[in-house]
Amino acid sequence: MKHIACIEDLRALARRRVPRMFYDYVDTGSWTGYTYRSNEADFQRIEFRQRVALDIAVRSTATTMVGQPVAMPVAIAPTGMTGMQHADGEILAARAARDAGIPFTLSTMSICPIEAVAEATGRHPFWFQLYVLRDRGFVESLIDRAQAANCSALVVTMDLQVMGLRHKDKKNGLSAPPRPTLRNLANLATKPRWCWNMLATKHRQFGNIVGHVKGVDDMRSLADWTREQFDPHLSWRDIEWIRGRWNGKLIVKGIQHPDDARLAVKSGADAIVVSNHGGRQLDGASSSISSLPAIVEAVGRDIEVHMDGGIRSGQDVLKAVALGARGTYIGRAMMYGLGAMGQRGVAAALDIIRTELDLSMAFCGKTDIRSVGREILHMK
């Protein structure tokens, strides 16, 4: 691991080790990819104000997210098909997050089911991300399963009422099940490590769904069911319904407008996540970091504001915190580590981010992440 110095090193290694269709699923956005690129690029327009000759010997990146102690203001974001970056991917990422002292969020569209992640992590509390699908009975069962698995927070994603146009996935034949084109088969032949690990696991399909929905017993029947499940009628009444059924912390993800943030407050949520789905839904939308300040100004006194999108370093985390985020989420940075080296790669990604966060905070003259504010920034 001596050659792994930053998240970009993990990305380059993952690109070599993960089959093209699954790597591209992570490393692209929708349409032209404008918003996907802006999420990352807009962080670069924010500069720090360095301080010197201050006592910075003793420092802490520890804080809380929705009342839960965390070693740094970072959670692992819910990412679909994590288990296709590396066999048992959700289990490995959850273990790395547990060991690092931060939350792990399991996606509804995970490969490993809720119960397997809970068992493999010794029932250490993790978070569960929920899509509000048309089949409300299935949604109720997911909520009940998450509570039974000792999940401490429910993250409800609001920005997938319809699916964005993801051109690269279509070109790669990424579907359920994946199309076995000659191009894909030839690429798989160049990834023997990935293939061997996948052959050794029993987790190869959407474990939270297959076997839990009547008539959905394999990947092909899953594809037919999934196409009908995204709900364009989703409303804030659904969040109120979930709030009445869920006993733990409730986080609403996919907020980009102050008005929606205010509605989330009224719905009873404990936190919101400023997010554009990693640039995978509406291309041309503003980056998360540029949307963050207005939302913090609108509701920051009434609800805990988190953000995701474009975070590739501890410096990005520090900038988001300085702009008012109480927590951040990493998706691609974690997936790069997972695809590169499994659990060790996720652990490496988290260690890189924590170290960069700590050192950058120190250079700005701060010793406690909870005291960081806009005074450390110079905005272009």
- pLDDT tens figures, 300-321: 999 999 999 999 999 999 999 9
Going from the C-alpha of 27 to that of each of 87, 208, 232, the distances in angstroms are 18, 24, 27
Interatomic CA distance for residues 15 and 353, integer angstroms: 20
Within-domain flag for 50? yes
CATH of the domain at 211: 3.20.20.70
- Number of domains present in the structure of the chain: 1
Please confirm, yes or no, whether 277 is among the known catalytic residues.
yes
Is residue 374's pLDDT more than 70?
A: yes
Q: Three-class SS of residue 62?
A: coil
Structural domain harbouring 199: 7-249+314-379
> Minimum mean pLDDT among 92-96, 215-219, 257-261, 361-365: which range?
215-219
Of 167, 203, 257, 277, the active-site residue reads 277
Residue 134 domain-assigned (yes or no): yes
The confidence band for 169, taking pLDDT boundaries of 50, 70 and 90, is confident
d(CA 347, CA 151): 21
Residue 337 is inside which H or E element, if any?
helix 332-363
303 domain residue, yes or no = no
Residue 352: inside a domain: yes
Contact partners, residue 190, CB within 8 Å, separation at least 6: none
Pairing of strands 153-157, 249-255: parallel
211-218 LR contacts (CB < 8 Å, sep 24+)? 212/138, 212/141, 213/135, 213/138
pLDDT single digits (tens) 328-356: 999 999 999 999 999 999 999 999 999 99
- In tens, the pLDDT along 291-302 reads 999 999 999 999
Determine, yes or no, domain membership for 289.
no
Helices 314-322 and 288-299 meet at what angle, rounded to 10? Answer: 30
In a domain, 165, yes or no: yes
Q: Which residues are annotated as a binding site for FMN?
A: 78-80, 107, 129, 157, 253, 275, 308-312, 331-332
pLDDT digits (tens, 9 = 90+) for 51-86: 999 999 999 999 999 999 999 999 999 999 999 999
